[in-house]
Amino acid sequence: MNRWTFGQAAKTRTRFRLGLNRAMRALFFLAALFALIVLAVLIGQIAVKSVGWLDWQFLTGRLSVNPHRAGILGAITGTFLLMLVVAPATMILGISTAIWLEEYAPKGRLKSLIETNISNLAGVPSVIFGLLGLAVFSRAFGLGSSILAGGLTLSLLVLPIVVVSSQEAIRAVPWHLREASYGMGATRWQTIWRVVLPAAMPGIMTGFVLAISRAIGETAPLVVLGIPVLIMPIPDSLMDDFTALPVQIYYWTLDAVLTPEYANLAAASIIVLLALLFVLNAAAIWIRNRFQRRY
Amino acid sequence: MTGMTWIRQNISWRCGKTVMLETNTVIRAEGLNVWYGDEQALSDIRMDIAEHEVTAIIGPSGCGKSTFIKTLNRMVELSGNVHISGEILFRGQNIFHKSYGVEELRTKIGMVFQKANPFPKSIYENVAFGPRIHGIRKKALLDDIVEKSLRAAALWDEVKDRLHANAWGLSGGQQQRLCIARTLAIEPEVILMDEPTSALDPISTMKIEELVSELKKEYTIVIVTHNMQQAARISDKTAFFLGGRLEEYGRTSDMFSNPVSRRTEEYISGRFG
């Protein structure tokens, strides 16, 4: 009697198995390609639209109703100053929260309550954060529609990302490294500062960059805060009114119905925003690698 | 604990006749109990540890030997949900007393762990870590401590040309000696070693054993080992733990040639554990 692995039926089966194997590989590759195609089409379209508009005058000029004279220096400055608020606020608050949750908090109700709330916050639509910022920072603290108000609102929005990723990074630091430090008489803070944080830094930085990238492109909360449509002066303090790149893109897209050239300005601004994001990511990767080399 | 050992220990304390009571006791455990949650890991441990001796702690897995050594510098409390009763006197002072700072204790009683755990930093930074956390900043002094500690750990010649290379690039045995150097750098009085050679090859193990014999001139060493030959080779006294109790404790030579307890004899002759 033949063994079951031989025979015609088994051969057919084998052919089928190998075929399926190839088919699945193709399927997954196409799925991965899909994202690439969408991104390429998007960038392609925008790039075509921005040709002839994205020039030095556009980057360094002030805002104008005349599309041919309009520039986005104000929006770039606004976005930059906004990040100057978001970055430290998110970093300090986010990492501190993660440290408390991982290194200090006793296992129990309070900890799980806070953790659940942070995860829930991550799912709250950004418009709601805009309303929160409007009520708390703009009205109650009297910050109006300043860069500070916008920055703090965006910090709240991206805080959960930083907290959760920092928590994961801190948790991934092997216990025996902490043990070594405590074993030499180090205090908890010394252990955190000299052992845990350096080892967790690459992971924390990754989360931080994700958060900043998210914040830099957020429009809705800023619109809710009442960022003015047209700002002529370039902001030079955190208390100034401002406009940011995504808000500028949003308004230009809205007004493109009346003035078609605004669509080109929006496209050019998007290229600038993407470039900014790219630089930011590159910087973070550089910082991360530097940290990794040191240890 | 069998009747005989109990008597031997108690006589030793009360009359000072046998080997057990030494005038140079550094650490004394009295009625020590440790629980993890509801589970009792150590029961009523009484034990004296003498200065400039190597005390080996042996026993089957789960007998509480690791718990005991970790209780000596209170590292056990990091496991959470640990409850301790009884006393451990270090140079006559109860280490569980509120006024006894745990950081100070761990500076005097250093520890080397089962798995070599150097920091992902340079060799130099690993050894300098302890002095740094205790506030030493002067480069010259740190250099001095690093060299002295690495020499004492018999590692200096192997690493002196690459002090600023990452410690994770060292071999397992070198890493463990680096951890010993790191512990020496805080100038402890006692060094606890929790199965320091269990993950090492025979040659590395031999080097560490030689090191232990060398170090006991300056330090008091308590070493947990699951290797009875190791205990016999390097220790002056041996404590046999069984089921969370101190089954037998005495001079290593006595214990291995003429154990009092039947269980000890069975264990050291390899019939269980």
Question: What are A77-91's pLDDT values in tens digits?
Answer: 888 889 999 999 999
Q: How many CB pairs under 8 A join A and B?
A: 66
Query: From residue B45, how far is each of B18, B29, B56 by CA, in Å?
Result: 19, 6, 15
Q: What is the pLDDT of residues B155-195, one digit of tens each?
A: 999 999 999 999 999 999 999 999 999 999 999 999 999 99
Beta bridge partners of A6: none
In this prediction, residue B189 carries a pLDDT of 95
User: CB-based contact (8 Å) between B131 and chain A?
Assistant: no
Question: A176, B115: Cβ pair inside 8 Å?
Answer: yes
Cβ pair B80, A106 in contact under 8 A: no
> Tokens in use for A188?
């908890």
For chain B, the average pLDDT equals 89
pTM (predicted TM-score): 0.81
- Which of A176, A194, A198 is closest, CB to CB, to B117? A176
Percentage of residues of chain A with pLDDT beyond 70: 95
> Tokens in use for A192?
């955190």
Task: Using an 8 Å CB-CB cutoff, list chain A residues near B78.
Answer: 178-179, 182
Is 80 exceeded by the pLDDT of residue B235? yes
User: CB-based contact (8 Å) between A236 and chain B?
Assistant: no
User: CB-based contact (8 Å) between A177 and chain B?
Assistant: yes
Is 90 exceeded by the pLDDT of residue B211? yes
Closest CA to A158 of A230, A217, A232: A217
Closest CA to A214 of A223, A203, A202, A206: A206
Q: What angle do CA B219, B235, B40 make, to 5 degrees?
A: 90
Cβ pair B267, B60 in contact under 8 A: yes
Could you tell me the pLDDT band of residue B46, with boundaries at 50, 70 and 90? very high
Closest CA to A188 of B109, B127, B102, B116: B102
In this prediction, residue A252 carries a pLDDT of 87
Question: B110, A186: Cβ pair inside 8 Å?
Answer: no
In this prediction, residue B167 carries a pLDDT of 93
In this prediction, residue B18 carries a pLDDT of 37
In the predicted model, what is the mean pLDDT of residues A233-237? 75
What is d(CA A151, CA A242) in angstroms, rounded to the nearest whole number?
11
Task: Using an 8 Å CB-CB cutoff, list chain A residues near B196.
Answer: none
In this prediction, residue A3 carries a pLDDT of 64
In this prediction, residue A239 carries a pLDDT of 76
In the predicted model, what is the mean pLDDT of residues A161-185? 94
Q: How far is A95 from chain B (nearest CA, A)?
A: 21
In this prediction, residue B79 carries a pLDDT of 84
For chain A, the average pLDDT equals 87
Cβ pair A153, A221 in contact under 8 A: yes
Q: What are phi and psi of B32, to 5 degrees?
A: -80, 125
Among A182, A184, A291, A292, most B C-beta atoms within 10 A, so best to mutate, is A184
User: CB-based contact (8 Å) between B119 and chain A?
Assistant: yes
In this prediction, residue B3 carries a pLDDT of 47
Asked which of A59-68, A191-200, A285-294, B203-212 is least confident by mean pLDDT, the reply is A285-294
In the predicted model, what is the mean pLDDT of residues A120-139? 89
User: CB-based contact (8 Å) between A179 and chain B?
Assistant: yes
Task: Using an 8 Å CB-CB cutoff, list chain A residues near B183.
Answer: 183-184
Task: Using an 8 Å CB-CB cutoff, list chain B residues near A179.
Answer: 75, 78, 113, 117
Residue with the larger pLDDT of the pair B17 and A211: A211
Is 70 exceeded by the pLDDT of residue B8? no
Is 50 exceeded by the pLDDT of residue A258? yes
Question: B133, A180: Cβ pair inside 8 Å?
Answer: no
Could you tell me the pLDDT band of residue B14, with boundaries at 50, 70 and 90? very low
Question: B133, A179: Cβ pair inside 8 Å?
Answer: no
In this prediction, residue B62 carries a pLDDT of 87
